[in-house]
Amino acid sequence: MAGGGGGMEKGEPDFQIAPMVDVLLVILIFFMVITSAQVLNIDKTIKLPIASEASKKDDSRAEAIVNVRWDPDAQRATFKFQDHVYAKASELTVPLKAAKQLGEKLAAEKPGQNPEFRLVIRGDRDVPALFVSQAMDIAAEIDISDISFSTVNHD
Amino acid sequence: MKPFVHDDDGTMGFQIAPMVDVVFVIMLFFMVMAGAVKVENELTTRLPGSTETSSATELYDETMIAISDEGQVSLNDEECDAPNDTQLPQLRATLMRIKENADNAKQPAVVTIVSDPHAKYSRTIDVLDALAAAKISNVTFNISDE
């Protein structure tokens, strides 16, 4: 009977194709998972700014994501929140307030979760800072003090 | 030489070699894609708020970083780095010294960014990135009056 490694009659180990296929499939699944898990599901019209020192995104908390778009031809910024586009930041107050109340309610039902609601601003890299500041002003108005700016690791 | 492996009943058997070839090609594709994938990260800040306190509040030295409409960054009114330099090496080095001094003095390093309203948002992120590199977390963001 052949040993654990398999062998020919001469005593040399035989090339085993089955374990090689197993290993290949495991490596394949690994690369498939890390590639597809990190594909960005964001507003395609926004080019996020690049930051090398930014930290990993915290997905464990309730959050609202506001996209700040910039139209260079019209020189106009718009704000997108929950599939609605708003021309002025002040129009975000009501939907953001509702999202905050819902997020805090859901967080309270889950023990151990950080109940603090946060705002994630996904601003286009070319948008004037004024419009990002306007979104932050709305956050301050409805008592959201934790604000994160989305960035990407490279172009 | 037999081109195909046949079972005794005449049907074609399972071909492992082409399967390994295909798996290799798919794996190479995902290996290359894994290096090029964009990862979304974040830079975090907290808005200043009011807190109730019964004891006296200590006031700390505040560092001001101004961003002009052309992207020129100034630290306490002194210009540093070129407006098109995204890495801001001078600013990073100075901020690291400020953080070191603050740590030695057992005080927090407090920084306020004052940006021109028309300055690009990416410039603010460049400065926030430099602050993150220096591990300074007490950051306030403001827009200057026009």
Class of domain B62-143 as given by CATH: alpha beta
Phi, psi torsion values for B139, nearest 5 degrees: -125, 135
- Residue B129 host element (H or E): helix B121-133
ipTM score: 0.74
| pLDDT at position B17 over 50 | yes
Please report the pLDDT score of residue B1 as a whole number. 41
- Higher per-residue pLDDT: B47 or A69: A69
- Higher per-residue pLDDT: B1 or B32: B32
- Are B44 and A148 within 8 A, CB to CB? yes
A8: left (phi over 0), alpha (psi -120 to 50) or beta: beta
Please report the pLDDT score of residue A130 as a whole number. 92
Please report the pLDDT score of residue B2 as a whole number. 45
Q: Least CA distance to B42: which residue of chain A? A: A150
- The radius of gyration of chain B's CA atoms, rounded to the nearest angstrom, is 28
Cα separation, B92 vs B89, whole angstroms: 5
- Are A127 and B39 within 8 A, CB to CB? no
Q: Least CA distance to B144: which residue of chain A? A: A130
| Three-state secondary structure call for residue B25 | helix
Which residue ranges make up each domain of chain B?
A: 62-143
Of A34, A51, A140, the CB nearest to B125: A51
- Are B120 and A145 within 8 A, CB to CB? no
Burial class (CB in 10 A: 0-12, 13-18, 19+), B123: buried
Phi, psi torsion values for B100, nearest 5 degrees: -65, -45
- Please measure the distance between the N-terminal and C-terminal CA atoms of chain B and give it in whole angstroms: 85
Q: pLDDT per residue over A110-147, tens digit each?
A: 777 777 888 999 999 999 999 999 999 999 898 888 89
pLDDT below 70 — which residues of chain A?
1-10, 35-42
Of B23, B40, B141, the CB nearest to A136: B141
Please report the pLDDT score of residue A2 as a whole number. 41
| pLDDT at position B123 over 90 | yes
- Are A129 and B143 within 8 A, CB to CB? yes
